[in-house]
Amino acid sequence: MAKNTICLWYDKDAEEAARFYAATFPDSTVGKIHRAPSDNPSTKAGEVITVDFTVAGIPCIGLNGGPTFKHNEAFSFQIATDDQEETDRYWNAIVGNGGQESECGWCKDKWGVSWQITPRVLIEAMATGGEEAKRAFDAMMTMQKIDVATIEAARRSSHSH
């Protein structure tokens, strides 16, 4: 077992979510599925209570804890992408499976978990700092899904009068 594992609270769909993540992201798997040994406030005996899974190498546990707590943007997975094709693939998978688009490369899956689908070119531009970072940041602020070509153009462009 990993020293640190992220626990994500779902109403009742932890297994469905884990299987979606495993099918969508590389280095992602579904591990052990644990069933409730007896009735409890969120599950009946024999129903799935936790699911061990890995998302892009990060160990997680999905807990079917009932509807009490909801996901919000205070927690997100940030997935670094190499190009527009990979960016589109993850974005479209999440949004197309009952999720929703948000701003600046963020989207939510159908269970309410937030994802930042972040091209490496944007990460690199921000790390560069100065005017290049500002141009890339300003371009990003107009986007939902990140457009790699527009970020690359913003990195290259200098002041135009």
Question: Rounded to an integer, what distance in angstroms lies between the CA atom of residue 70 and that of residue 76?
Answer: 13
CA nearest 51: which of 155, 43, 145? Answer: 43
- Percent of the chain residues past pLDDT 70, beyond the cut: 98
Average pLDDT value for the chain:
96
Q: How many Cα atoms within 13 Å fall on the side-chain side of residue 117?
A: 31
pLDDT given at position 101: 98
Query: Which whole number is the average pLDDT over 148-155?
Result: 96
- pLDDT over 60 at 29, yes or no: yes
pLDDT at 161 exceeding the cut of 80: no
pTM: 0.93
115-140 pLDDT, tens digit per residue, is 999 999 999 999 999 999 999 999 99
pLDDT above 80 for 160: no
The residue count of the chain comes to 161
Q: What pLDDT score was predicted for residue 1?
A: 80
Q: What is the pLDDT of residues 69-111, one digit of tens each?
A: 999 999 999 999 999 999 999 999 999 999 999 999 999 999 9
| DSSP alpha helix (H) spans, the chain | 14-24, 84-96, 120-128, 130-140, 148-156
Strand 58-64: give its sheet, edge to edge.
6-10, 58-64, 48-55, 29-35
Read off the pLDDT of residues 32-46 as tens digits, 9 standing for 90 and up. 999 999 999 999 999
pLDDT value at position 159? 56
Q: What is the pLDDT of residue 2?
A: 87
